[in-house]
Structure 1
Amino acid sequence: MPLTRKNARMTTPDSADAVTELLLAHVDRATTGPLDDPAVVAAVVGVERLVVATGSTDAHVLRDALAGRPVAGADAGHVADLVAEARGHVAAGLIRRDSGQSVDAGVVNPASGGYEITTDANLLRAAVRAAQGSIDAMPYYGARYGARGSRFATTDSAWLISLARLGSDRAIHQVEWLARVLAARGMPSWLLEIHLDALVAEVRAVAGEDAVGSLPAAALALAAVRRRHVDDDLLRAADDWADEALGDALPVPRAGALMAAAVADLRAGVTRDDSSLVDWLTDPARVPETVVTALLAVRQRILDQAL
Structure 2
Amino acid sequence: MTDATSADDARQLLLVHTDRALTGGIEDPAVLAAVVGIERLVVATGSTDAATLRAAVEGRLALTGEQPAQEPGKAHGEGHGARVAELVAEAERHVVAGLLRRSTGQSIDAAVVNPEAGAYPVTTDATLVRAAVRAAQRSIDAMPYYGVRYGERGARFASSDSAWLVSLAPLEEGQAVRQVAWLSRVLAGRGMPSWLMELHLDELVAQVREAVDDAAVGALPAAAASLTVARRRHVDDDLIDRADTWAREAAGDGLPVPRTGALVAAASADVLLGVTADDHVLFDWLTDRERVGAEVAAAIHDVRDRVRSHAT
The two structures share one fold, judged by TM-score above 0.5: yes
TM tier relative to shorter chain: over 0.9
Report deviation, 1:285. Answer: 1.6
Equivalent position to 2:180, from 175, 178, 193: 175
- Do 1:65 and 1:71's aligned partners in 2 also have CA atoms closer than 8 Å? no
| In structure 2, C-alpha distance between the alignment counterparts of 1:75 and 1:269, rounded to whole Å | 43
Partner of 1:65: 56
Report deviation, 1:179. Answer: 0.5
Residue 77 of structure 1 aligns to a residue whose secondary structure is helix
Partner of 2:35: 44
The residue type paired with residue 88 of structure 1 is R
RMSD value over aligned CA atoms? 1.2
User: What percentage of residue pairs aligned between the two structures are identical?
Assistant: 62
Tell me the number of residue pairs that the alignment of Structure 1 and Structure 2 aligns: 297
Report deviation, 1:304. Answer: 1.0
The residue type paired with residue 143 of structure 2 is M
Partner of 1:216: 221
The residue type paired with residue 223 of structure 2 is A
Residue 216 of structure 2 aligns to a residue whose secondary structure is helix
| In structure 2, C-alpha distance between the alignment counterparts of 1:12 and 1:196, rounded to whole Å | 42
Runs (4+) off by over 6 Å: none
Partner of 2:194: 189
Report deviation, 1:12. Answer: 6.8
Partner of 2:128: 123
TM-score (norm 1): 0.94
CA shift digits 1:108-166 (9 cap, x unpaired) = 21111111000000000000000000001100000001111111110111101111111
Partner of 2:17: 26
**Matches of residues 90-101 of structure 1 in structure 2 within 5 Å?**
90-101=95-106
TM-score (norm 2): 0.93
Residue 286 of structure 1 aligns to a residue whose secondary structure is coil
Partner of 2:157: 152
- Do 1:54 and 1:71's aligned partners in 2 also have CA atoms closer than 8 Å? no
Equivalent position to 1:277, from 278, 282, 288: 282
CA separation of 1:213 and 1:12: change in aligned 2, threshold 3 A: farther
Gaps of 5+ in 2: 69-78
Report deviation, 1:256. Answer: 0.4
Report deviation, 1:257. Answer: 0.3
**Matches of residues 76-91 of structure 1 in structure 2 within 5 Å?**
76-91=81-96
Partner of 2:45: 54
| In structure 2, C-alpha distance between the alignment counterparts of 1:271 and 1:78, rounded to whole Å | 36
| In structure 2, C-alpha distance between the alignment counterparts of 1:163 and 1:12, rounded to whole Å | 39
* Alignment pair present for 1:244 and 2:249: yes
CA shift digits 1:74-122 (9 cap, x unpaired) = 2332222211111110111111110110111001211111110000000
Equivalent position to 1:257, from 248, 258, 262: 262
Gaps of 5+ in 1: 1-10
CA shift digits 1:42-72 (9 cap, x unpaired) = 0000000010011100111112222222331
Structure 1, 202-211 or 232-241: larger mean CA deviation: 202-211
Report deviation, 1:287. Answer: 1.6
| In structure 2, C-alpha distance between the alignment counterparts of 1:38 and 1:96, rounded to whole Å | 7
